[in-house]
Amino acid sequence: GIKKLLVPGDGSASAFRAVRHAAAEAAVAGPAAQIHLLHVIEPMTPVTLSEAFSARRLDERFPPQAAQALEPAIAILAQAGARYSLHCHFGEPAAQIAAHARDAGCDAIIMGTRGRGAFARLVIGSVATQVVKLVDIPVTLVK
């Protein structure tokens, strides 16, 4: 059964619908289910490898834009009584989403299809489609 659900969050209404969907799935899956909320920050400038690695060690202190994007999602999950963990990566969204799913051993991904900001490209045919191609676990797209 499904134990770990990965939900990329970018602060958009579409992403919050995906979070609600994930909370409902987790409730059905039972108390062992856990939701991984992931925010990906796309660097505006190319990041050197050493900078990328130091940026990954966020020690719970997420950059403001990540905290802002995830706060409403956290509220939704807390209200639903869902178990969750928070993650922030730097880089190209689809690649980071796929990498997290693989590294964390996620069973499925639930993601919104309409984003905002740097994620405005997050429409079916872009980030979501790339993610589907990059992973071999089920991906649920939520409008």
The separation between CA 58 and the C-alpha centre of its own chain, rounded to angstroms, equals 16
**Residues 4 and 34: beta-carbon distance below 8 Å:** yes
pLDDT in tens, 7-30: 999 888 889 999 999 999 999 999
Quick one: DSSP state of residue 136? S
Q: Is the pLDDT of residue 42 over 90?
A: no
Q: pTM for this one?
A: 0.81
The whole-number average pLDDT for the span 106-119 is 79
Distance CA 105, CA 100 (A): 8
How crowded is residue 80: how many other Cβ atoms within 10 Å of its Cβ? Answer: 16
pLDDT in tens, 118-142: 555 545 457 888 999 999 999 999 9
CA-wise closest residue to 44 among 98, 99, 91: 91
